[in-house]
């Protein structure tokens, strides 16, 4: 299992007139958390795209348990429970506020595909190498 | 069953460097489609908030089957399969492009709650009245 | 002079906890209005990009006079006062609400540049042809 | 003069199909930079709103000199050149990338107004107290 934590401060732009973070903005938080998760492996998603592999999201499930508010310092736990065996990768996310209350949970499934053709692809070898030790 | 269709033109802002609509933006499309769905009943979500009832989203599931592109004229089908029996309402969404290909599906579950306290609430009577005929 | 009008309904996502449209969202409204302005000429910005010409924004000035609110049906007037003589084009925007009150004004300056190199470019001939009659 | 610097990592959501940060997103960067600027004074914008004072933006000017890209670590310099004498405050912003190249400049003018009535208001005394030493 590979787990990382990322902090995100809620922007004013991300609130709506319900005085809470708009439900659509969590997808961005999950994206940032995934990117930071990969960065902690000594790799970046940007580099992966430079290698011609992109990761479109194919599925997302989100539960909104409690609202986040402006200026909250969110802690996003990103969990990779299984090492991908093919072109599919699944991340779990848990969003906590500064009082350590669980606000939101998310599952995001992505594919590795080739840039341009969107043809399904394997996880890049460099990423697999740095991830494998977490699953032994 | 109550079904409506809403058209949305993809904005440049909604694309990302993958040349497709960013996955996080579908939540906005679903929101617009829900609002237009309610408007077709001769009611508006804005009026409902003025009556002190708000509808936070508590759950969302999305499948991204095919990408949407800049300037696509999307058609979003919004389906209310069941008349709510309490504070919970569930909408299904299907996003099609101008070639009538299904791009994305979504299920969004919301609660009716009281503004201020977020206490669970019944669906407003006025909304129930206009919806009931579709479920008989 | 070439003037067009475009209607945009304010989305919930576009409000913030001040109960008004977040100031950063007007840039999107201006973008939509420009795109519709070009479409009314029988041309689309999408087609122009397909021809290898893109239009990055190089300057924007905005005055926020009165707030827009959720569900407002905005009318955006887009004014092209001068036919471009080189790679530079300037649009004026005026945002009105359904009570015809002026909410926001904007000036957006863009360049025509070549995709890939970002090298300055002339306005495409096809666009010039359809625009010229408005400036005679 | 009061100057602060804030780092923001570009999100994938903030790019568009031109492979650069969408021009409309700089308003959010400026907002974050202003909020961090106030925080460095030992005060938060959130607290100010809790005191019943809000700060709507009334004017913004932006020049886009060079594009920002996905995953860039931007450095945003926020400059308060003058201590407000009434309800009006003006911030200058400069956005640099990790190669210290100036990408974007912005000027944002805001008013202090009373929540609810939007009546013009003085800068809160607590904020004035902590700012004054920088202008002596």
What's residue D116's pLDDT?
A: 86
CB B121 within 8 A of CB B113: yes
CA–CA dist D107, C32 (Å, integer): 24
Number of neighbours of residue D108 by Cβ within 10 angstroms: 24
C13 interaction partners in chain A (CB closer than 8 Å): 16, 22, 24
> How many domains are there within chain A?
1
Query: pTM for this structure?
Result: 0.97
**Of C34, C8, C28, C3, which is closest to residue C98 (Cα–Cα)?**
C8
C-alpha distance from residue C123 to each of B123, C59, C136, D56 (Å):
54, 18, 18, 37
C-alpha distance from residue C57 to each of B60, C111, D109 (Å):
35, 7, 21
- For this structure, is C16 an active site residue? yes
At residue A116 the predicted structure's pLDDT band, cuts being 50, 70 and 90, is confident
Q: Any CB–CB contact under 8 A between A13 and chain C? A: yes
Backbone angles phi, psi at B31, to 5 degrees: -60, -45
CA–CA dist A98, A136 (Å, integer): 33
Measure CA of the first residue to CA of the last residue in chain D; give whole Å: 9
Q: Any CB–CB contact under 8 A between B116 and chain A? A: no
**Is pLDDT of B69 > 90?**
yes
What's residue C80's pLDDT?
A: 98
* Percent of chain B surpassing pLDDT 90: 96
D20 interaction partners in chain B (CB closer than 8 Å): 17
Chains with at least 3 CB pairs less than 8 angstroms from chain A: B, C, D
CA–CA dist A2, C40 (Å, integer): 53
CB C4 within 8 A of CB C40: yes
Would you say residue A136 lies in a domain? no
Boundaries of domain holding B121: 2-135
What's residue A123's pLDDT?
A: 93
CA angle B108, B100, B22 (to 5 degrees): 50
Lowest-confidence pick of A35-39, C90-94, C97-101, D124-128: D124-128
Name the closest residue on chain C to residue B47, using Cα atoms.
Answer: C71
Q: Which residues of B70-87 are buried (b: 16+ CB within 10 A; e: fewer)?
A: bbbebbbbbebeeebeeb
**Pairs across B and D, CB distance < 8 A:** 26
What's residue B9's pLDDT?
A: 98
For an interface test with B, the pick among C6, C8, C13, C29 (most B C-beta atoms closer than 10 Å) comes out as C13
Span B29-40, mean pLDDT? 97
- pLDDT tens-digit map of B116-125: 899 999 999 9
Half-sphere exposure (Cβ direction) of C80: Cα atoms closer than 13 Å: 22
**Is pLDDT of C116 > 90?**
no
- pLDDT tens-digit map of A84-108: 999 999 999 999 999 999 999 999 9
Name the DSSP class of C124.
Answer: P
In this structure, what CATH number is given to the domain that contains residue A16?
Answer: 3.10.129.10
B59 interaction partners in chain A (CB closer than 8 Å): 62-64
D46 interaction partners in chain A (CB closer than 8 Å): 70-71
Q: Any CB–CB contact under 8 A between A44 and chain D? A: yes
How are beta strands B2-9 and B73-80 bridged, if at all? antiparallel
Q: Any CB–CB contact under 8 A between A22 and chain C? A: yes
Phi-psi map region of A87: left, alpha, beta (phi>0 left; psi -120 to 50 alpha):
alpha
**Is pLDDT of B74 > 90?**
yes
What's residue D98's pLDDT?
A: 98
């Amino acid at each position: 299992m590979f787990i990382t934590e990322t902090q995100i401060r809620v922007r004013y732009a991300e609130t709506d007139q319900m005085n809470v973070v708009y439900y659509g903005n969590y997808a961005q938080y999950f994206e940032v958390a995934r990117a930071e998760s990969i960065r902690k492996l000594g790799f970046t998603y940007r580099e992966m795209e430079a290698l011609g592999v992109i990761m479109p999201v194919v599925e997302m499930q989100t539960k909104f348990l409690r609202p986040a508010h402006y200026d909250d310092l969110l802690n996003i736990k990103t969990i990779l429970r299984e090492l991908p065996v093919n072109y599919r990768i699944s991340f779990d996310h848990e969003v906590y506020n500064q009082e350590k209350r669980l606000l939101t949970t998310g599952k995001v499934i992505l594919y590795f595909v080739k840039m341009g053709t969107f043809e399904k692809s394997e996880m890049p070898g460099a990423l697999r190498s740095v991830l494998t030790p977490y699953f032994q």
